[in-house]
Amino acid sequence: MKTFDEQLATKFADRWIETTTKMALGLNNLISAGEIDGEATEKFPVFQEDKMTVYHYKQTSENVCPVPLLICYALVNRQYMMDLQPDRSLIKNLLNLGMDIYIIDWGYPGKMDRFIQFDDYIDTYLSDAVDFVRKDTGMSAINLLGVCQGGTMSAVFTALHPEKILNLVLMVAPFDFSGDDGLLNVWARYLNVDLIEDSLGNIPGDLLNVSFLMLKPFSLMMDKYVNFLESIDNPKNVESFLRMERWIFDSPDQAGASFTKFIRDLYQGNKLIKGEFEINGRKVDLKNIIQPILNIYAEQDHLVPPSSTKPLEQYVGSRDVTTTAFPVGHIGIYVSSKTQKNLPPLVADWLWERSMCRT
Amino acid sequence: MPTANVTKISEEFVKNITESSARLATAWSEAVKGAGVQNVYDNYEKLILSWINPSAFMRIVDSTSVGLKFQELINLASQDLPEIVKHAGDHEKMTRIKDKWMQSYEKLVREMFGMPAPSEIERVMQPWRSLMESFTGLGGGTMSPFGSMPGSMGWPFPFTTAAGRSLFPLWPETYENTIGKLFRLPGLGLTREYEEGAKKAVDAQMRFLNTLPDFQEQVLTASKAAMDKVVDHISKMDIKQVSPETYQLFYKIWVSNNEDAFIELFRSETFCRTLANTIHRGLDAKKKMDTVMAKGLSFWNIPSGKDMDEVYQAVYEMKKRIRRLEQELGDLTQKLADSPRKEFAS
């Protein structure tokens, strides 16, 4: 019979063998993973303006909603987060539920784009994308879904052009920047954003990534990778991890002038909900938004805290506002398997109901 | 044994360098005193002498990567974890272990802040380093308090000791009152403009580096508080025997305590101000460096960044104008199409 110490030594040895085997398999999985690219769902470019491209997704359902849905993603990071892989694709699930989906890809701003204003993104690019989808589908008003910063942009656009939008869906989008629970809100107040633009021109995507990593330094820079090692022997997990990793660090630079206005007027000035925000000299009055609004937020969002999203209801003119929370984080809302079961039907049902009765 | 030879050669090399550097520093200091300005340079001399020693030099030479330092910390934890479990409640022993861990942890933090993180930061930093190197090469080395800068963003503060940390507040003040003044002297002669620009850029870089100790001190204080909590937490746990699960538990406690400590630090007003100050001074230095680079490159027939910005702005304005004209044209075409056709008799 083994003594206690011998049992312990055996335990350590077993764990060592288990770990070594796992690492060997993991290494093989990493080598075999190859280039991770592509998105889960087929789509076609249908409209281009400068670096912005509008894509139209291939229909997968016979019963299609008569009102098209345009998705406006944030300028930060890339829109394919919503279609990361077949079993984690909000796009695919919405298509299966009969949505006719267009999406904006903002592209990668280069040095030449440093003078593009936030106003241009709203009044030129988003506006032209909306007009294109209206023309392409023959609808006078369409459904607009804004994600994160794209949600703020969508709300601003709807307030300025209410006649072009039938229903507005907002996901993890910031509106009230006064709270202290979001570290980005707090840090932004201390920044001399004009100096940043003046010295860097465009804002490097990697610098934004550093600030995002600092929001949860040990979780995002260490624990995430330690946990990855736990499942590195599973090829499917390795592929999922690499896909997510690719997305996280696929960060376009931000056009300097646009970034400056976004930080100065919204993060520092909180002008949108104060009714002081202007686009090309026109005041943005959120009371002009009389469309039905579905406002979705993530309860554990460390980038856009609920306190920044929830108050929208108080400032809009709409009397049909549905505010819904999911018990996940900012990214989990797109990729968590639990959310993927509940979120697409919620959005699709909400849009179907309001599109049918208003067309 | 070859290893022994290498060690011996290395030790001699370090000894030679440190001794000659110390001689140079002392001679320089004496010379300055002879010029009748000793009061201004007293603190600076002490600082230089405190840095020039084999261990400080070796720390710089020996800087490797965060990964290795982290491995060092993990190794230490692996060695000490059984000791913590065995001697839970022994205050003296716990304090010794904490101190040992903190030393290793400080090395890790130093590496983290000494390494060029993402490529963008590295790209931004590169011109500064080139300037420092060229400045040193041009004979300005004796004016540079760091001599030639170590690789990356590192700097030779001996902050692994409490005495070293006490230098933090002293250094920026000393710089402003001593060497910093030299960088603000007016230039003379043919190269006046270039010289003044270069000095301003170096001064701005030094001011940026001067913010880092403050930044680092806050990080170290938060790290120490977290480490205290980790050791306390583990020593109070009822662990009979160290097993693989104990290490997993230790890791979880370590990560969660550090995460909490750092988020609390990052939220504090003091840290936010320090962070903003560091960023602003860094960007100011980059701006001044860009000015010097543009001046230097003006001899060549290539457009400067400013020239290109003018082109970009012109293209941007033109695109806007074309869009507006296209829209007007579209509106007019539409109006024409909508209006009833009229036959005009000649």
- Asked whether the beta carbons of residue B119 and residue A187 sit closer than 8 angstroms, the reply is no
Identify the residue with better confidence: B248 or A93: A93
Using pLDDT thresholds of 50, 70 and 90, give the confidence band for residue B341. Answer: low
The pair of three-digit structure tokens given for residue A6, joined into one six-digit string: 């011998």
Cβ count within 10 A of residue B249: 16
- Show residues of chain A in contact with B118, CB under 8 Å: 206-207, 209-210
Using pLDDT thresholds of 50, 70 and 90, give the confidence band for residue B31. Answer: low
Instruction: Share the mean pLDDT of chain B.
Output: 70
- Show residues of chain A in contact with B323, CB under 8 Å: 124
- Show residues of chain A in contact with B324, CB under 8 Å: none
The answer to whether B173 and B137 are in contact (CB under 8 A) is no
Residue B54 pLDDT greater than 50, yes or no = no
Residue A321 belongs to what H/E stretch? strand A321-326
CA proximity to B55, closest of B172, B166, B156: B156
Contacts of B29 (CB under 8 A, 6+ apart): B41, B44, B45, B48
- Show residues of chain B in contact with A116, CB under 8 Å: 316
Contacts of A155 (CB under 8 A, 6+ apart): A146, A168, A170, A173, A175, A272, A286, A289, A312, A316
C-alpha span between A272 and A268 (Å, rounded):
11
Residue B47 pLDDT greater than 70, yes or no = no
The per-residue pLDDT for B142 is 35
The pair of three-digit structure tokens given for residue A226, joined into one six-digit string: 């330690």
Which DSSP symbol is given to A59? P
Residue A336 pLDDT greater than 50, yes or no = yes
The pair of three-digit structure tokens given for residue A77, joined into one six-digit string: 């990071």
Identify the residue with better confidence: A141 or B37: A141
Give mean pLDDT, residues B293-320: 91
The per-residue pLDDT for B277 is 93
The answer to whether B41 and B143 are in contact (CB under 8 A) is no
Q: Which of B244, B259, B315 sits opposite A216 (nearest CB)?
A: B259
Considering A35-44, A196-205, B110-119, B139-148, the range whose residues carry the highest mean pLDDT is A196-205
Give mean pLDDT, residues B201-211: 85
Question: Residues of chain A with pLDDT > 70: what percent?
Answer: 98
Give the pLDDT confidence of B230-271 residue by residue, as tens digits.
888 877 777 777 777 778 888 888 899 999 999 999 999 999
Q: How far is B9 from chain A (nearest CA, A)?
A: 38
Query: At what angle are helices B244-267 and B66-86 packed, to 10 degrees?
Result: 120
- Asked whether the beta carbons of residue B118 and residue A209 sit closer than 8 angstroms, the reply is yes
Identify the residue with better confidence: A118 or B238: A118
- Asked whether the beta carbons of residue A216 and residue B280 sit closer than 8 angstroms, the reply is no
- Asked whether the beta carbons of residue A187 and residue B272 sit closer than 8 angstroms, the reply is yes
Is B287 in CB contact (< 8 Å) with chain A?
Answer: yes
Residue B210 pLDDT greater than 90, yes or no = no
- Asked whether the beta carbons of residue B319 and residue A216 sit closer than 8 angstroms, the reply is no
Using pLDDT thresholds of 50, 70 and 90, give the confidence band for residue A129. Answer: very high
**A41-55, A98-112, A244-258, B91-105: the lowest-pLDDT one:** B91-105
Is B241 in CB contact (< 8 Å) with chain A?
Answer: yes
- Show residues of chain B in contact with A209, CB under 8 Å: 118
Considering A31-45, B181-195, B315-329, the range whose residues carry the highest mean pLDDT is B315-329
Q: Which of B244, B267, B273 sits opposite A11 (nearest CB)?
A: B244
- Asked whether the beta carbons of residue A218 and residue B262 sit closer than 8 angstroms, the reply is yes
- Asked whether the beta carbons of residue A216 and residue B316 sit closer than 8 angstroms, the reply is no
**A240-244, A280-284, B89-93: the lowest-pLDDT one:** B89-93
The per-residue pLDDT for B156 is 40
C-alpha span between A165 and A316 (Å, rounded):
14
Is B186 in CB contact (< 8 Å) with chain A?
Answer: no
Q: Are strands A83-85 and A88-89 parallel, antiparallel or unpaired?
A: antiparallel
B241: left (phi over 0), alpha (psi -120 to 50) or beta: beta
Phi and psi, residue A72, nearest 5°: -110, 105
The per-residue pLDDT for B5 is 61
Residue A154 pLDDT greater than 90, yes or no = yes
Q: Buried (b) or exposed (e) across A200-221, using 16+ Cβ within 10 A?
A: bbbbbbbbbbeebbbbbbbbbe
Is B124 in CB contact (< 8 Å) with chain A?
Answer: yes
Residue A146 pLDDT greater than 70, yes or no = yes
Cβ count within 10 A of residue B217: 15
The pair of three-digit structure tokens given for residue B305, joined into one six-digit string: 């960044």
Residue A133 belongs to what H/E stretch? helix A127-137
Q: In chain A, how long is the greatest CA-to-CA distance? A: 85
Q: Are strands A43-49 and A52-57 parallel, antiparallel or unpaired?
A: antiparallel
Using pLDDT thresholds of 50, 70 and 90, give the confidence band for residue B170. Answer: low
- Asked whether the beta carbons of residue B284 and residue A199 sit closer than 8 angstroms, the reply is yes
C-alpha span between A275 and A253 (Å, rounded):
29
CA proximity to B251, closest of A257, A42, A218, A194: A218
The per-residue pLDDT for A79 is 94
Residue B280 pLDDT greater than 90, yes or no = yes
Q: How far is B274 from chain A (nearest CA, A)?
A: 10
Using pLDDT thresholds of 50, 70 and 90, give the confidence band for residue B53. Answer: very low
Our measurement of the distance from residue B155's CA atom to the centroid of its chain's CA atoms, rounded to an integer in Å, reads 8
- Show residues of chain A in contact with B286, CB under 8 Å: 199-200
- Asked whether the beta carbons of residue B283 and residue A196 sit closer than 8 angstroms, the reply is yes
Contacts of A143 (CB under 8 A, 6+ apart): A65, A67, A68, A69, A70, A165, A166, A167, A168, A169, A351, A355
Residue A310 pLDDT greater than 70, yes or no = yes
The per-residue pLDDT for A177 is 96
- Show residues of chain B in contact with A15, CB under 8 Å: 244
CA proximity to B178, closest of B170, B186, B187, B190: B170
Identify the residue with better confidence: B187 or B333: B333
C-alpha span between A81 and A303 (Å, rounded):
16
- Show residues of chain B in contact with A199, CB under 8 Å: 283-284, 286-287, 290
- Show residues of chain B in contact with A302, CB under 8 Å: none
Residue A275 pLDDT greater than 90, yes or no = yes
**B111-120, B201-210, B293-302: the lowest-pLDDT one:** B111-120
Question: What SS3 state is found at A91?
Answer: helix
- Asked whether the beta carbons of residue A187 and residue B275 sit closer than 8 angstroms, the reply is yes
- Nearest residue on chain A to B317, alpha-carbon basis: A115
C-alpha span between B181 and B145 (Å, rounded):
13
**B88-92, B159-163, B303-307, B314-318: the lowest-pLDDT one:** B159-163
The answer to whether B193 and B156 are in contact (CB under 8 A) is no
Give mean pLDDT, residues B140-154: 36
Is A148 tagged catalytic? yes
Q: Which of B244, B287, B320 sits opposite A199 (nearest CB)?
A: B287
The answer to whether A160 and A284 are in contact (CB under 8 A) is yes
Using pLDDT thresholds of 50, 70 and 90, give the confidence band for residue B138. Answer: very low
Question: Residues of chain B with pLDDT > 90: what percent?
Answer: 17
Q: Which of B117, B243, B272 sits opposite A190 (nearest CB)?
A: B272
Give mean pLDDT, residues A168-181: 96
CA proximity to A357, closest of A67, A59, A62, A61: A67
- Asked whether the beta carbons of residue A199 and residue B263 sit closer than 8 angstroms, the reply is no
109-138 in chain A: CB under 8 A from chain B: 111-116, 120, 124
- Asked whether the beta carbons of residue B308 and residue A111 sit closer than 8 angstroms, the reply is yes
- Give pTM, 2 decimals: 0.78
Cβ count within 10 A of residue B157: 22
C-alpha span between B283 and B279 (Å, rounded):
6
Residue B64 belongs to what H/E stretch? none
- Asked whether the beta carbons of residue A116 and residue B316 sit closer than 8 angstroms, the reply is yes
Q: Which of A111, A190, A217 sits opposite B259 (nearest CB)?
A: A217
The per-residue pLDDT for B116 is 35
What residue type is assigned to position B225 of the chain?
A
The pair of three-digit structure tokens given for residue A175, joined into one six-digit string: 């509106």
Residue A21 pLDDT greater than 70, yes or no = yes
Residue B226 pLDDT greater than 60, yes or no = yes
**A90-94, B50-54, B126-130, B185-189: the lowest-pLDDT one:** B50-54
- Asked whether the beta carbons of residue A217 and residue B272 sit closer than 8 angstroms, the reply is no
The per-residue pLDDT for B154 is 39
Q: Which of A124, A196, A217 sits opposite B262 (nearest CB)?
A: A217
Our measurement of the distance from residue B203's CA atom to the centroid of its chain's CA atoms, rounded to an integer in Å, reads 15
- Show residues of chain B in contact with A219, CB under 8 Å: 255, 259
Is B11 in CB contact (< 8 Å) with chain A?
Answer: no
The per-residue pLDDT for B233 is 83
- Show residues of chain A in contact with B263, CB under 8 Å: 183, 215-217
Q: Which of A12, A204, A222 sits opposite B244 (nearest CB)?
A: A12
The per-residue pLDDT for A118 is 98
Identify the residue with better confidence: A76 or B238: A76
174-203 in chain A: CB under 8 A from chain B: 180, 183, 186-187, 189-192, 195-196, 198-201
The answer to whether B98 and B77 are in contact (CB under 8 A) is no
Interface-testing mutation among A127, A135, A187, A249, with chain B (most B C-beta atoms within 10 A): A187
The per-residue pLDDT for B321 is 96
- Asked whether the beta carbons of residue A183 and residue B309 sit closer than 8 angstroms, the reply is no
